[in-house]
Amino acid sequence: MPYDDTNTMTLDAGELRRTLQADEERLEEGGPPTGGRFVCSLDSLPQKEQGRYELIRSIGFGGMKCVLLVYDHDTGREIAMALMPDFRERPQSDHEQFIKEARITAYLEHPNIVAVHDIGLDCNGAPFYTMSFLRGMPLTTVLKRIRENRPFESSYYTLERRLRIFQRVCNAVGYAHSRNICHLDIKPDNINIGEFGEVRLYDWGLACETTFDGRAVSREKGKLKGSPGYMAPEQISINPEAPPVGKSSDIFALGALLYTLLTLSSPFGGKDNEEVLLKTLTEDPPKASRIAPKGAVISKELELVCRKAMAKDPADRYASVTELRMAVMAFQTRVFRSSMFHRQRKHLISGIILLLFIFITIVAVFWKNLG
């Protein structure tokens, strides 16, 4: 794979066309892609010059990577760096998974998906990639503060604003699906809410390419991957006849996310993950209106949207993210029009009262002058 003079990864146009064509043919046949687009070995990554990135502090650690806040001397900005520090002790499959996550995220250029800037090997040979530093907070934290009745979050993050957040997450997932990628780990922990209205979906570590009929490919069989409470039944089931994991699994997770935004609680509770997974397979979540916070009014229309998105059978769910998003948007539009009507009626009544007051005042002055 050739590289350009700036030491960034490039793919020859002819090679790219051949790779994509081979992948499309294999996907049409139901087989896995060649992997040329996202999977590669450490040897194929460029070695980056020492000194460009200056460590500021550690942000966190999870899975196979640590995330650092670094200063990029070339661009003069703070960015986040994901690094695999123990790469020498890890198998090649972990290296490939790390690189795959970086390249899938970079492939998905969208305003509501975290941006990847660079990928390579550091001076010690450890693989890394850099991405935008998200300065907001996870949606989980926002919802927790609303439940705690924190003054700002409780007043600012109204249902209307929470539904706007949902729409932006749908935009991100819908775009990924249009590029034949499914996320498979959509949950409040993986959504960042910025101070100025930014909404970013991140952590594409479980993401997979999909066939043209929406089925995920290149997934390891027999391994449970995802987050209990937001995983679709087909992600949990070990039944070989269970529906395939894929785009519809993301629609289930979006339904669970909508439920959480409405109720401030996850749809399936339990004393441990095993109980949550069992409920996901065997039970419907409680009605949102029944567990909503005190004083909250949950529309029956939105309850039905949640129920359809979270149907046990993928065939009973919304056919696409767009269809789900439009169902929520239809509710928002009706609420907006109703609100506009009530405001206009209120202004009309106020205007009539004012005119009556002026008329009565004029009549009173007239009769006083006559007397």
The domain ranges of the chain are: 38-131, 137-330
Residue 140 clears pLDDT 70, i.e. is over it: yes
Q: Write the single-letter amino acid at 117.
A: H
185: annotated active-site residue: yes
Is the Cβ–Cβ distance between 230 and 259 less than 8 Å? no
Full-model pTM: 0.81
Catalytic residue among 122, 185, 203, 250: 185
Question: What mean pLDDT value characterizes the chain?
Answer: 84
Q: Which of 102, 81, 90, 92 is nearest to 38 (CA)?
A: 102
Please give the CATH superfamily to which domain 137-330 belongs: Transferase(Phosphotransferase) domain 1 (1.10.510.10)
Question: Which pLDDT band holds residue 19 (cuts at 50, 70, 90)?
Answer: very low
Q: What is the dihedral of CA 252, 258, 263, 268, to 10 degrees?
A: 10
Residue 9 clears pLDDT 70, i.e. is over it: no
Distance CA(224)–CA(227), nearest Å, equals 9
| Strand intervals (E) in the chain | 53-62, 65-72, 77-83, 116-121, 127-131, 137-138, 181-182, 191-193, 199-201, 208-209
Tell me which CATH code domain 38-131 carries.
Answer: 3.30.200.20
Is the Cβ–Cβ distance between 117 and 126 less than 8 Å? no
**Tens digit of pLDDT for each residue in 299-357?**
899 999 999 999 999 999 999 999 999 999 999 887 655 554 455 566 666 667 777 77
Strand pairing class (77-83; 137-138): unpaired
